[in-house]
Amino acid sequence: KLPSRVKLVDVGPRDGLQNEKAQVPAEVKIGLVHRLQDAGLTEIEVTSFVSPKWVPQMADAAEVMAGIRRKPGVRYSVLTPNMKGFEAAVASRPDEIVVFGAASEAFSQKNINCSIAESIERFAPVVEAARGRGIAVRGAISCTVGCPYEGEIAPERVAMVARLMKDIGVQHVGVADTIGVGTPRKVQAAMEAALQHYDLDSVSGHFHDTYGQALGNTLASLEMGVWQYDTSTAGLGGCPYAKGATGNVATEDVVYMLHGLGIETGIDLDKLVDAGAYISDFLQRKPNSRASTAILNK
Ligand code: HMG
Ligand code: MG
């Protein structure tokens, strides 16, 4: 039985824009957040408090957070890889912080410059500090199906990282297919691995759509009862440290599928298409979403 309601976290302002070469002004990022919340998104991943040398696009994190007109009922999350990032993020009053690790050693090294074990040691004080302040903590697990450097990743590795995150107090884990190589059964195996340590209400899916499998992977996860997903308006996204990976599955496409399945999202698809068109216009490209293209061409 499929869930009757699904919660989507739009990660467009963060995952979507972190990979853009041209600097997107804070004002445009804020405009995107406003359009997403007006479309009914209740969870928005806004930015990352990471090293500006590593990801220059996110250097304006504090400015973006400060410029948002907060809408009651909307939760704003930010990425924080270490205490330095967390301390910088606190002033921005995020509702949730995201620590991000990986099921692949090589990817962990490339993305956050440390081993999986070291990353957990770095996250532990961040998690403790956040929870002490009543800030929710999510953990992203990258490369749960495949890694750009190591190839296929076994579900046991996902279970191991989920357990390590559980041990340090991470409340929710996101199972990410960073490079979009997953297919439905493999993604289900990765989800099952995370579900060994987290309950169904505390696991979400984060699927990049490189091989066009993300909707199928979403449906396969829905069939397991997973009801929370990260998606990105206009299909923006990618990770600078995962070469060849394209954007996240488009929020528009997922919303279209969910509504067609009779699943509630609280999202107004037409307004969402406008939000995706806004950022795509700025980036001078067409939205990378089939549903959006169809609706705009009607
Ligand atoms: P490092 O170089 O090992 O850090 O980077 P360090 O602790 O040795 O510090 C070096 C310098 O960075 C120092 O400055 C620090 O102050 C500064 P210096 O003294 O040289 O002037 N620094 C910071 N500055 C600002 N904010 C911070 C911070 N930390 C240190 N938080 C580090 C380690 C983790 C910082 C670096 O590797 C980094 O920033 N990585 C981020 C990479 C990233 O953002 N990747 C994309 C997000 S993850 C993703 O997209 C995957 C996801 O979508 C799921 C999926 O699809 O798989 C979530
Ligand atoms: Mg991602």
Residues 195-215: tens digit of each pLDDT:
999 999 999 999 999 999 999
CA of 71 to the centre of ligand 1 (A): 29
The residues near 42 (Cβ < 8 Å, ≥ 6 apart) are 7, 73, 74, 75, 266
* Alpha-carbon torsion, ordered 27, 31, 33, 39, to 10 deg: 180
pTM > 0.80: yes or no: yes
pLDDT of residue 244: 79
pLDDT of residue 242: 85
The residues near 25 (Cβ < 8 Å, ≥ 6 apart) are none
pLDDT of residue 183: 98
113 lines ligand 1 (CB under 6 A): yes
Closest among 40, 70, 7 to 272, alpha carbons compared: 40
Q: Are 166 and 194 in contact (CB under 8 A)?
A: no
- The catalytic residues are 239
Structure tokens at 295: 């609706």
Residue 245 has pLDDT above 90, yes or no: no
Q: Which of helix, strand or coil describes residue 78?
A: strand
pLDDT of residue 112: 98
pLDDT of residue 269: 98
Structure tokens at 13: 């302002």
Region 17-31: mean pLDDT is 95
Q: Which ligand is nearest to the CA of 53?
A: 1
Q: Can you state the angle between helices 184-195 and 214-222, rounded to 10 degrees?
A: 50
CA of 298 to the centre of ligand 2 (A): 31
Residue 240 has pLDDT above 90, yes or no: no
**Nearest protein Cα to ligand 1, atom 32:** 112
pLDDT of residue 66: 98
Is the ipTM value over 0.90, yes or no? yes
* Alpha-carbon torsion, ordered 239, 241, 244, 248, to 10 deg: -20
Residue 105 has pLDDT above 90, yes or no: yes
